[in-house]
Structure 1
Amino acid sequence: MSTAPRPDDRGRDRDEEGRARNARPRDGLGRPLPYGTEGVERQPEGVTRTPEETVAQAQALLDAGRPFHAHEVFEDAWKSGPEEERDLWKALAQLAVGLTHSARGNITGGARLLLRGAGAIGAGTWGERPHGIDLDGLVVWARELARSLEGDGPTIDAAEHAPRLRGAGSA
């Protein structure tokens, strides 16, 4: 059975089960583009990855200035991972969405999401470096970026401000 999006009788993209599946192309920050425009490759939904694969793929997307797409990788991890790690992956997704909003020009919303993600990481009980992730470094990164955005700062470059999930020396 195909789950490729197709328009319904009202012109909305739906899968075979009738769930919304927007087939519009998107830019690197996840913004919809007009149909027929070439966008960036979208992340497949519902992929189960190991934590190592999740972190590596999300980092590559962050480095490429595609935090919206990194958020989708983290979202897959929280939906398919063990219950005790779901809040970790949700918090990381919030950081990616905060960076997305900041790069799109929604400075206030971006800063709020960065701080919310940092707060969730700080409140977690996953240990010091779950899956090699530098949680302390991410909290510092998120708070510093949010502080730099205060007062309608300029739109930022997502790749230039991408966090290092495994710390300053990570690749």
Structure 2
Amino acid sequence: MKPRDRDDEGRARSARPRDGLGRPLPYGVPGVERQPEGVVRSPRESVAEAQRLLDAGMPFHAHEVFEDAWKSGPEEAAPLWRGLAQLAVGLTHAARGNAVGGARLLRRGAGALAAVDGSAYGIDVPGLVRWAGELARRVDGGAVVDAAAEAPRLAPGGP
């Protein structure tokens, strides 16, 4: 049996390269550089980095930025970052062709975000809730999703 890939701390972590949607590629094939885990950023840095990744069609990687923000930030902000991570994963699944999972996660993330205020971080929560609901409806209807073309704007009037 082949030994499992491990990270520097000895945790199981696949060393296989991944594409922009986080899908594993065969060993030796060039992939997209992975987001480092556990990076502590300011909320505005997290939003800017996640937006860059979303715009590049890499929502799986943006989800990792949101995950770091919720794990390293204040507990009261965790629901915001978790909801954003769910939206990013929903977009990931929709772009991978998993309509059921994509629509479900988009709705779950929108539901979580509907209960929070992101204005302190410059996040357009109402706009994201609308975006997620509309995309979920389109995905349910069979829409083919291009992650970069569907990238949401995290901040009002954002890039």
TM-score, normalised by the number of residues in structure 1? 0.89
State the 1:87 CA deviation: 1.0
CA gap 1:73/1:16 in 2 versus in 1, 3 angstroms: closer
Q: Look up the match of 2:140.
A: 150
User: Which of 62, 65, 70 is the equivalent residue of 1:70?
Assistant: 62
Deviation sequence 1:76-112 (CA, Å, 0-9, x none): 0011000000111000000000000000000110000
Larger Rg: 1
Tell me which amino acid in the other structure corresponds to 1:42: R
Instruction: After TM superposition, list the pairs within 5 Å mapping 1:31-50 onto structure 2.
Output: 31-50=23-42
Cα RMSD, aligned residues only: 1.3
Q: Does 1:170 align with 2:153?
A: no
How far, CA to CA, are the matches of 2:12 and 2:64 in structure 1? Answer: 16
Q: Look up the match of 1:5.
A: none
How far, CA to CA, are the matches of 1:68 and 1:120 in structure 2? Answer: 19
Aligned length: 159
User: Which of 72, 79, 82 is the equivalent residue of 1:87?
Assistant: 79
1:105·1:154 contact (CA, 8 Å) conserved in 2? no
**Runs of 4+ displaced beyond 2 Å:** 15-18
TM-score, normalised by the number of residues in structure 2? 0.95
State the 1:17 CA deviation: 4.0
Percent of aligned positions with the same letter in both sequences?
71
Give the gaps of 5 or more residues in structure 2.
Answer: none
Q: What secondary structure is seen at the aligned counterpart in 2 of 1:14?
A: coil
How far, CA to CA, are the matches of 2:33 and 2:17 in structure 1? Answer: 8
Q: Look up the match of 1:3.
A: none
Q: What secondary structure is seen at the aligned counterpart in 2 of 1:138?
A: helix
